[in-house]
Amino acid sequence: MERDDVRAVFFDAGYTLLCMDPPQEILFLQVCSDLGIAIDDARLASAVRDANMMLAPRTPASVHRPYSIERVDMFWIEYHRVVLQGCAVDSASIGLAEPVYRTFSKRLGWRVYDDVRPLLTGLRTRGIKLGVISNWTGDLEDVLRRIGLHASFEVVIDSARLGHEKPHPEIFAEALKRAGVRPSAALHVGDSIEHDVDGALASGLRPVLIDRVGRYSAFDRAPRVVDLSEIAALL
């Protein structure tokens, strides 16, 4: 396939541009302690992995899911129910999934990775359009404003607001439409093989896998970087 020069770079949000602060497991333990919920620390990591299976691609591309805060809340209450089911000492604590979720959400902060701002500045200097394509929960633009990144992007796509999630093509098509670029002229960077790499490939974009902790050292279906500073060399 003939490739255009890169005119737009899109990024996933979580664990690509930013991460939870404090980290998920630490905040979860703090919340549970404050709510009087005993947790078996040795089972927590496994419980989170089980709950994260809920984040796998799940909606057919043709199905639109209208945004509602109630639907978002129901999903994350169930997510925390699965976590509690996997690590709560007392099974009765599973019934406290909603207050755990509500408290966790209120206390959750986000930290921008150190390699993000220098890359965004460099790309903007080169005249490249920037965007975010994320499977988020409806408040992505607010989060980006709070951490001082919103002004860096011409395009912000929050899956909950759009009604389609990565890896399905509608979310990538909408980003390309807003940026005014062809798929072959766009790069998409993300930390998920299923959502980001496979979704971008299927939609004609050039994918890059950001692998900050070295989980995918054998991956070779797209460029793999461990730091966003490596992106500039791929353009």
Nearest to 79 by CA among 92, 65, 98, 60: 98
Note whether 138 and 69 are within 8 A (CB).
Answer: yes
Give the distance between the most distant pair of CA atoms in the chain: 59
Res. 3: pLDDT tops 60:
no
Domain boundary residue, one of 70, 91, 109:
109
The reported pLDDT for the residue numbered 61 is 58
Compute the mean pLDDT over every residue in the chain, rounded to the nearest whole number.
95
Res. 1: pLDDT tops 50:
no
Q: Which residue has the tokens 């899109």?
A: 10
Sheet strand arrangement including 155-158: 155-158, 129-134, 8-11, 186-190, 206-210, 224-225
Report how far apart, in Å, the C-alpha atoms of 181 and of each of 91, 143, 165, 208, 225 are.
52, 26, 20, 18, 24
Domain boundary residue, one of 88, 109, 130:
109
Same domain, 229 and 119: yes
Parent domain of 32? 21-109
Same domain, 182 and 83: no
| Number of domains making up the chain | 2
Res. 90: pLDDT tops 90:
yes
Q: Is residue 187 part of a domain?
A: yes
What's the residue count for the chain?
A: 235
Same domain, 164 and 184: yes
Predicted model pTM: 0.94
Angle between helices 69-87 and 97-107 (to 10 degrees): 110
Q: Is residue 47 part of a domain?
A: yes
The reported pLDDT for the residue numbered 59 is 65
Nearest to 7 by CA among 167, 160, 180, 153: 180
Q: Which H or E run contains 103?
A: helix 97-107
Res. 4: pLDDT tops 70:
no
Q: Is residue 3 part of a domain?
A: no
Phi, psi at 180, each rounded to 5°: 70, 40
Res. 188: pLDDT tops 60:
yes
Q: How confident is the model at residue 30 (pLDDT cuts 50, 70, 90)?
A: very high
The reported pLDDT for the residue numbered 60 is 63
pLDDT digits 0-9 by tens, 133-180: 999 999 999 999 999 999 999 999 999 999 999 999 999 999 999 999
Domain boundary residue, one of 80, 109, 138:
109
The reported pLDDT for the residue numbered 2 is 43
CA distance 17 to 153: 12
Instruction: Please list, residue by residue across 72-99, b when 16 or more beta carbons sit within 10 angstroms of its beta carbon and e when fewer do.
Output: eeeebeebbbbbbebbbeeeebbebbee
